[in-house]
Amino acid sequence: MGAVALMAAVQVVPAMANVQVWDFDSNNQSFNYSGNGNSLGMTSTDGVNLTVTGWSDTDDLSGDDEVENARLIWAQSGALGIVNRDEGTGSPDHSIDSSTSDSDGEFDMLLLEFDTAVNLTGIDLDWATGGNRSNKTDISILAWDGSGSASLSGSTWASILDSNGGNYDSVGNYSNVGLSYYSVNPSNIESTKWLVGVYNPVFGSGGDAGDDGMKLGAIKTSTNPGTPTPTPTPVPVPGTAMLLLAGLLGLRARRPAKARAK
């Protein structure tokens, strides 16, 4: 065997993504308080931290209404809802909804803030409505682009878009989302901050701007474990007998040279 065979080869072992499933459940979790601007904190089994807050464009102005914080509630025991500053707690107001008498419309959204960049891969709704449809709704999802301020307060939903000088990108608008696990974000975008809410036409086409509502039961995310660590993989080397034979051949080759030197 040649000298190359005596060297160890290096094999890169592909790293699998870490997956986090976030189930919202009033039996195991609680808000930090019960008023506008409250939050829900969670930690995954692999140590990723999540903070959830509610937002809606309820600050009435002559133009587009500005966004301000709202109140997170348990819309049912296993699902999150939002009661904004212009709503009561009846149905569908206690859901994440766009049902309102405001001529400008009011669109509720959840802000999901993670302490590390995640890929939001799916959502699971426990309740949904969309105009004349039951158990289906249209949703919008945005991701912070990682530059500049991620603040929502005092902005309009249109102004937070990167295309309008803001720092959020539209990841997708999804129509007729039902009450089962629904995959999102096919481009596998990663971000530390995500907005999830009912469809808003200022974020682009893809949904029906009717009165939508939803209660979010769970989300699924994944994180990149980083660059795979090279793992040494030893290559078989010659046994003892082969090494001994090579040594004897080497001695034999040197003997004629010594005789000629005399």
- pLDDT of 11 above 60: no
Q: Which residue has the higher pLDDT, 140 or 208?
A: 140
Q: Which residue has the higher pLDDT, 101 or 96?
A: 96
- 244 lies in a domain? no
d(CA 208, CA 139): 9
Number of separate domains in the chain? 1
CB 191 within 8 A of CB 113: no
* Phi, psi (rounded to 5 degrees) for 188: 60, 40
First to last CA, the chain: 35
- pLDDT of 258 above 90: no
Q: How confident is the model at residue 99 (pLDDT cuts 50, 70, 90)?
A: confident
pLDDT tens-place string over residues 184-243: 999 999 999 999 999 999 999 988 867 899 999 999 999 988 744 455 555 454 555 455
- 198 lies in a domain? yes
106-115, 133-142, 200-209, 224-233: least confidently modelled range: 224-233
CB 128 within 8 A of CB 168: no
Q: Which residue has the higher pLDDT, 224 or 173?
A: 173
- 262 lies in a domain? no
- pLDDT of 261 above 60: no
The pLDDT mean for the chain works out to: 84
109-118, 145-154, 201-210: least confidently modelled range: 201-210
For 193, other C-beta atoms within 10 Å of its C-beta total 20
Q: Which residue has the higher pLDDT, 90 or 133?
A: 133
- pLDDT of 102 above 50: yes
The two tokens of residue 42 are 């969670």
pTM value?
Answer: 0.80
- 254 lies in a domain? no
- pLDDT of 116 above 60: yes
- 253 lies in a domain? no
pLDDT tens-place string over residues 16-65: 889 999 999 999 999 999 999 999 999 999 999 999 999 999 987 666 78
pLDDT given at position 2? 46
pLDDT given at position 259? 42
DSSP annotation string for 28-71: T--BS-SSTT-EEEEE-TTS-EEEEEEEEEEE--SSSPEEEE-E
Domain span at 149: 15-223
- 43 lies in a domain? yes
Residue the block writes with tokens 């004897």: 248
CB 10 within 8 A of CB 233: yes
Amino acid (one-letter) located at 150: A
pLDDT given at position 245? 53
- 246 lies in a domain? no
The two tokens of residue 14 are 């592909």
- 10 lies in a domain? no
pLDDT given at position 8? 37
pLDDT given at position 133? 80
